[in-house]
Amino acid sequence: MKLRELFVPSAIKLDLAAETKDEALRELVSCMGLDEKSEGILYKMLKRRENLGSTGIGRGIAIPHCRSLVVTRLRVAFGRKLSGLDFKAIDEKPVRYVFLIVAPPLEVSNQYLPVLGKIAQFGKEADVPESLAEISSPEQFIELLDAKDL
């Protein structure tokens, strides 16, 4: 499956209201269409994963991720905060692009790891941060993935 097929426009936030890492996680979790309790559990899991080590991989990109029982299928979201968020990233620079990935413990298609790997690879491409800064609509975000054949 292509990455672009996993992203829905409602889960692509090009102007996050969040001012902190925690707020960004909450904002992206709220795109998942879960009930309040499930959102809370998912947020806690993502926070606990962050506590093990930041998912900020450098160059302004973070990929918070976890498996949780509260989702029934692989879900992804993208958030952009051009002014930057303190994510305690590997390169200690602010994070401007956040890719959220959550998956259930059991997946028939077992996509979680490949998707995590593809997004990590995408984030390492030299032109990606600049391209992500320039897009102005969720559709352009999808087009960017399409252009990368992802």
CA–CA dist 118, 137 (Å, integer): 22
CB of 114 to another protein, least distance (A): 10
Q: Please provide residue 55's backbone torsions phi and psi, each rounded to the nearest 5 degrees.
A: -90, 10
Contacting residues toward another protein, per CB under 8 A:
35, 37, 41, 44-45, 48-49, 51-55, 57, 63, 66-70, 72, 90, 104-106, 113, 116-117, 120
Alpha-carbon torsion, ordered 92, 100, 24, 83, to 10 deg: 50
CB of 42 to another protein, least distance (A): 9
Give 103 or 142: the residue with its C-beta nearer to another protein.
103
Give 23 or 107: the residue with its C-beta nearer to another protein.
107
CB of 1 to another protein, least distance (A): 18
Alpha-carbon torsion, ordered 4, 36, 104, 33, to 10 deg: -30
Give 103 or 145: the residue with its C-beta nearer to another protein.
103
CB of 7 to another protein, least distance (A): 20
User: Per-residue DSSP letters for 39-84?
Assistant: HHHHHHHHHHHHHHS--EEETTEE--EEE-TT-SS-EEEEEEEEEE
Give 2 or 73: the residue with its C-beta nearer to another protein.
73
